[in-house]
Amino acid sequence: MSTLLLIRSEIESLLDPMTLLAGLRQAFIDYSTSPAAKAHRVRSQLPGLGTATVLFPGTTPGVPAYSVKVHAKFPGQSPAIRGVLCLHDVENGELLAVMDSTHLTAVRTGLAGALAADVLACKEADTVAVIGAGVQGRCQLRSFAALRRIHQASVYDVVPERAATFARELSSELGLAVEAAESAAEAVRGAGVVFTATWARKPLILAGMLAPGAHVTTLGPDEPGKAEVAADVIRNALFVCDDRMLAVEMGALGGVGLGSDAIAAELGEVLAGLHPGRTSSEQVTVYGGVGLAFQDLVAAWAIYQAARLRGVGRGIDFIA
C-alpha cells in the first residue's frame, strides 16, 4: 500500500480547526485520566541558531494510528517552525501518510490554547490581549473568537510594524476592534484573557499587570530557558498545564524556576471534571502548554481522512 504525501497548501485546504475541537477535548481527557504511557518530546540544539524536536508517539483511544513529528525551530525564519509528520497504522506500523507539519502544528496549538482559555477564563470575559503578533498569536485569537464572542482585542509585539499589521488584518478578518499597543503592560491592562506566544527568555507578564480574574494562556515556553509569565504571578494564580512533568522540564514553570508544587491540575483533569478549575471571578488563572503528540495525531488523522475522501495528495511506495 502506498504512503500518502501531503504538502502544506493541501493541509491548509483540508484542515478545518473547529472540526477538531470535540476530538481534541476528548484526547486531553484521555491523556490525563488513562494509564497509557505519556508522550515524549526530545529536543536537540542544532549548529547555529536552531533546535530540532521530535514528538512521539501521538496516540489516543479511538484513532487506529499513531504519529511521529520531527520539526526544527529557527526563530529568525518565516515560517519559524518547519518539519514533517509521519502517520502510521497502530496495528502494524505501516506508514499511512507523510505531511508537512507547519500549518498542522499552528492550528492544533492555537485551538488547544483557546480551549484552555475558554474553560478557565471568567464566563463574561470578552476582552483579549495578544502578546506576540506572529503566526501563533493569530491562531490564538482566531480560535478564541470561534469559541467566544469577543468585544475588543489588543496586540503587542517587539516589532511595532508587525503589531500594526496584525491589528489591521485581524480587525478586518474577525470583524472586531483590534488595536496595537505600545507595550505588553498596555496591551494586557483590563484584559480578561491574555495569550502570549513569543520567543521570550525573560517574563513579559509581571506582577501587577493583570486585572483581577484575568486568564493567561502562555505557549511560548516549550523549550528549556523560555519564559513569559513571572514566577510570582504563577504562584498566586491557579496554574493548569497539559503535562505535569514537561511543564517543569521545559515549560512555563521550569523557565522561571518553579516546580510541580505550583501545578493545580492538567487541562484534561479540568475537562473531565476531576478538578473544578476557576473557583471565583477574582481568581487569576494561567494555562501553560508545551504541546503534546496526541494533539498532532488528532489533527493528522482528520487531515488524512479528508484527503482520502477528496482524493487529495499523491502516493509513493517507500518499500517497493
Could you give the residue numbers annotated as active site?
222
Q: How far apart are CA 7 and CA 277, in angstroms?
A: 39
Q: How far apart are alpha carbons 3 and 5 in whole angstroms?
A: 6
> β-pairing, 65-73 with 152-156?
unpaired
Q: Are 78 and 102 in contact (CB under 8 A)?
A: no
Look at residues 42, 36, 84, 101 and name the one whose alpha carbon lies nearest to residue 63. 36
Name the CA radius of gyration of the chain, rounded: 19
Judge whether 194 and 128 are in contact, CB under 8 Å: yes
Whether residue 10 contacts residue 288, with contact meaning beta carbons closer than 8 Å, is answered with no
